[in-house]
Amino acid sequence: MSSQNPSLNHDKDTVHKPSKEFSSKARISSMGAYRKLYKESIEKPNKFWAREAKELVWQKPWEKVLTWKAPHAKWFDGGKLNVCENCVDRHAAGPRKNKAAIIWEGEPGDKRVITYGQLQKDVCRFANVLLKNGVKAKDCVLIYMPMVPEAAIAMLACARIGAVHNVVFGGFAAEAIADRLEDSGAKVIVTADGGWRRGKVVALKPVVDEALTKSSQVTRVIVLNRCNNSIAMEPTRDVWWHDEVGTVSSKHIAKGFDSEHPLFVLYTSGSTGKPKGILHTSGGYLTGTYSTCKYIFDMRDEDVFWCTADVGWITGHSYIVYGPLANGVTQVMYEGAPNFPDFGRFWKMVEEYGVTIFYTAPTAIRAFIKAGNPFPEAHDLSSLRLLGSVGEPINPEAWNWYHKYIGGGKCPIVDTWWQTETGAILISPIPGATPCKPGTATLPFFGIDAAILDDAGKECKAGEDGRLVIRKPWPSMIRSIYGDKERFKKTYWSDYAGGIYSAGDGARRDKDGNFWIIGRLDDVLNVSGHRLGTAEIESALVSHPAVAEAAVVGRPDDMKGQAVAAFVTLKEEFVESENLRDELRNHVGKVIGAIAKPDDLHFAVGLPKTRSGKIMRRLLKELVCTGRISGNITTLEDGSVIDSLLRSIKR
């Protein structure tokens, strides 16, 4: 397997122990305390999780902590809760009423502070708007929004009335929305006229309009006026957010829903076919996100938390909306690009709002390193006490820079491993306890029985590569792939027998038991911490009239972790040209979204195939990584394509 983790040879790197200063105030303040609680949580997981879940508000207590008929889990069955009540009302009803829940900054510099008391009113109003527009419990609502507080308000309002949200990242194109609409069956869409990004308005409503030309299932589009850009409104279908909230009450009683009531579906890429709708439910998901925030981010009432992800990804769901709000902290939310007007934007905001916990992705850190130290150095970052990383392995250079220039050498860094499917962080340091080594997510969270298995299902020894698996169910785990139980079973539970979750990542443990993630084992790319299926990009390419065949592989990239390399063969009547190359790259941007645009696009006379017609991506991967093909090519159907491929990448 080609390693995506550049730090794997740095096993002997410096170990960073948490400072006494940090540990003495932390919830878990030593490795001894971590080990003791971990042992207990693995021996008696139900006891551990029940204790965590009890810190939430339940309208009806559960009867059974876990019902497990692999791969189907029911957590806190018989219990009823309202997820929104837990994130909003319970704080608004107490001393946190006038505490800032969300401190938001728009890219142009506009600012809003929303207290828990205000958030409750806003969420209730929008819940009433959804009800007025015919949304019922279990109906799906598609949310396609910029990073504005209304995105979180819309999600919480869905949760409040038991509707299932399907947030689609604002960078996705019309076809990606149309696919998700069709699969999720949403009849209502919440969107905005546009959002600000790098000083420009990125229009959103026109993309929704385009998606809707292919579908008639949507009866209502609710549009937030964010940018005042000119958009079309379809009079029988489209309504303005501000008009709608003006007609309803700011009161709404949050009724309890079953613990296993669906909370949201979020689409993510797999190795084959269309993106999968990952289904999460209520009580378990909230318990997982709440508990990981409490222990891994060590969240306190006085913290100001900032997760820089977009709400369109799972990180935004779990660590902007549900986890932090369930903990009642203040958080920062930012609309735009990290480099607008320059690379000092984040650090200016950290200083201004006194951010104490900062959570971002390695790809962003690498961009900051490149931009230069003067940007962070111009700001007082001394409020920070804890840093986090997510999305891909963090290379030692990025780790050390983050530690020194952002954390001032005093903040622990939690390198958090998890997935859309896992709902919450599963492997991470506990900041007051775990010694950190740059490049490893270290040890499993409480209740998480993580292991590395070989093909035969035997646990690997220290230093041996294998598959990362989770051997016991956990509360925030995926419940199904929306509408496709068989794919759910096949994708995650068929590598091993006996209800073992297979994450799709290769990994190894070092002699101290730390987990080092090597990279994906399937045809999934990790580009700037975002998951892209090679099959999706290939299918976008072949949907262009000039393309006969396409194969996509990842190649290492200093900034993005992985970059997208595409090989394309053209239909007879088309000729290679720079214009066509640009057109094909842009075509992928139009079909999926800008994040999926191939970085390299090579025209090829033929693609390397086995005699049975399977594209040998392994050879293409070697070619883009090393510029050579030395691997076994005896199974190749036509050896001459190799020469032409070698020529194609030189051009």
Instruction: Give residues in contact with ligand WT7 (CB under 6 A).
Output: 268, 314-315, 390-393, 415-420, 441, 503-505, 517, 520, 526, 529, 531
How many CB atoms are located within 10 Å of the residue 65 CB?
A: 19
Contacts of 493 (CB under 8 A, 6+ apart): 70, 71, 499, 500, 501, 502
| Shortest reach from residue 429's CB to ligand WT7, in Å | 11
Which residue lies nearer to ligand WT7 by CB, 183 or 505?
A: 505
| Shortest reach from residue 269's CB to ligand WT7, in Å | 8
| Shortest reach from residue 398's CB to ligand WT7, in Å | 12
Nearest position to ligand WT7, beta carbon: 420
Which residue lies nearer to ligand WT7 by CB, 335 or 505?
A: 505
| Shortest reach from residue 63's CB to ligand WT7, in Å | 32
- Strands 480-481 and 276-281: what pairing? antiparallel
Q: What phi-psi label fits residue 403: left (phi over 0), alpha (psi between -120 and 50 degrees) or beta?
A: alpha
Which residue lies nearer to ligand WT7 by CB, 118 or 416?
A: 416
Which residue lies nearer to ligand WT7 by CB, 116 or 418?
A: 418
Which residue lies nearer to ligand WT7 by CB, 168 or 390?
A: 390
| Shortest reach from residue 230's CB to ligand WT7, in Å | 34
Which residue lies nearer to ligand WT7 by CB, 82 or 422?
A: 422
Report the alpha-carbon distance of residue 406 to residue 373 in Å, rounded.
10
Q: Are 248 and 129 in contact (CB under 8 A)?
A: yes
Q: Which helix (H) or strand (E) holds 257?
A: strand 257-258
| Shortest reach from residue 124's CB to ligand WT7, in Å | 30
Nearest to 594 by CA among 520, 535, 540, 648: 540
In order of 17, 557, 642, the CA distances from 337 in angstroms are: 33, 21, 41
| Shortest reach from residue 413's CB to ligand WT7, in Å | 11
Report the alpha-carbon distance of residue 13 to residue 8 in Å, rounded.
10
The tokens 């040209």 sit on which residue?
577
| Shortest reach from residue 28's CB to ligand WT7, in Å | 19
| Shortest reach from residue 471's CB to ligand WT7, in Å | 17
Report the alpha-carbon distance of residue 433 to residue 615 in Å, rounded.
47
Which residue lies nearer to ligand WT7 by CB, 163 or 525?
A: 525
Tokens of 479: 């419940």
Write the burial class of residue 589 (CB in 10 Å: 0-12 exposed, 13-18 middle, 19+ buried).
Answer: middle
Q: Are 209 and 194 in contact (CB under 8 A)?
A: no
Count of residues making up the chain: 651
Please enumerate, as own/partner, the contacts of 607-616 that have beta carbons within 8 Å and a separation of 24 or more.
607/549, 607/551, 607/567, 607/569, 607/641, 608/633, 608/636, 608/641, 608/642, 608/645, 609/636, 609/637, 609/638, 610/635, 610/636, 610/637, 611/635, 611/637, 613/637, 615/549, 615/551
| Shortest reach from residue 410's CB to ligand WT7, in Å | 22
| Shortest reach from residue 79's CB to ligand WT7, in Å | 27
Which residue lies nearer to ligand WT7 by CB, 346 or 418?
A: 418
Report the alpha-carbon distance of residue 224 to residue 369 in Å, rounded.
36
Please, which residues bridge with residue 191 across strands?
144, 223
